[in-house]
Chain A
Amino acid sequence: MLITQVFGAVIMYIDPGTGSIIFQALVGGIMVLGLTVRVYWRKVRSLFKRHG
């Protein structure tokens, strides 16, 4: 399925580049993972602080 079909409403007049789109999904995934780890790490730390 072409990218223009997925996001049909959008007028795309620059070539986003397949490599850039796929890569961006990967980087975005890593960002979310990093954020999740940070949130949980904060939770774990606050748990220890409360008990300590």
Chain B
Amino acid sequence: MIAAPDHVLDYPLATDGDIAVINLASARQQSWSRFWQDPQRPGIAEYIVEQEQLAAQYVGDLKALDRLETLVNQLDRVSSGAMRTALIHAQVAAMAHRFGEARDRLTQAEARGAMSADVQRLSLSIDQACGTRLQSVLEVRQRMAAESGRLEDLVPLGSLLADLGNFDEADRIYDRALREYTDVSPFAAAWVCFQRGVLWGELVPEAQSSRAAVWYRKAIEYLPCYVKARVHLSEIYLQSGNVVDADSLLVSVISSGDPEVNWRLADVLAATGRLAEAEEQLQAARTGFEALLERHLLAFADHGAEFYAGSGNDARRAFELASTNLANRPTLRAFEQAHEMALGAHETQAACEILVDAGELWGGTAAFRLSPLSTRIHSANLESRRAAR
């Protein structure tokens, strides 16, 4: 595995993040005005989906999903039988991790004449998010990336390679995406940097925190309001005892309303002994997560599970949410999370069953051999053999 430090000095110039965020907000508002004037205007609903996706992904605007639900409800009212309504519905359902519904809507869109490229693009995303047919997804992603060379095709390929345990190749693809990007949107550049942070900080078997921190910092440099990058970087700072920087990273984005910010801030405050304030933040996080889970259970089940398994301190709720997530999308990561949370909730039998299921579904893959579940299965097999003797 490549362990050399990354050099991030030469990467693309991009429009200042503050300008880009102001421009996104103002253009998004303009698009909604156009939509309300004429919901069937060609291209407008599709454009709003993209803008809301940017708002959710980079600005931590969690109301984006609610607004998109409004969009599809309105489209259902004015053109329920239209191909584009089904396609947009599928996109929004996929964003909310309602993958079954997304597939149904996609089938509907296809039957109504949706372009095969649009159907394939979303279908690939759903398969990748659910961990299904990954080998064929990989082949198509590689072909698309080779043909277009566009960042929008390269980053999903990098992400898939990382899911499959091919970390160095994933990093090379991310590197290429940045080097070959020929526009000036900071969203694109920040996205790639964030993915590289996640790759080296969370996905590799032995996290390289300082390497991940470089990329999270670069993502924030491109886009100061990048909530998720701030949250991830603050975790690294906190682990290394740098509570001052962890605190300042989070305080400036607390207004985003993302409960993950409250949660991590609670951890930082607790580490500095400010227990009453920490409890306040923890309560805000709990309320925030529950509000999100009530509206979009599948979209936030994995994050909710992490919260309750950590400072949220409710192992049963964590296991319940992790199980929900696993049933919705049986990725290797979902298995790992559900298994860990089953053990945390003392659900030994359930943990064993999850392990067996994971082995059946993922056992033959390279990624599984790098997973902690692989070691557990191996130990469990040894124990059964010993018991059989």
A associates with B: no
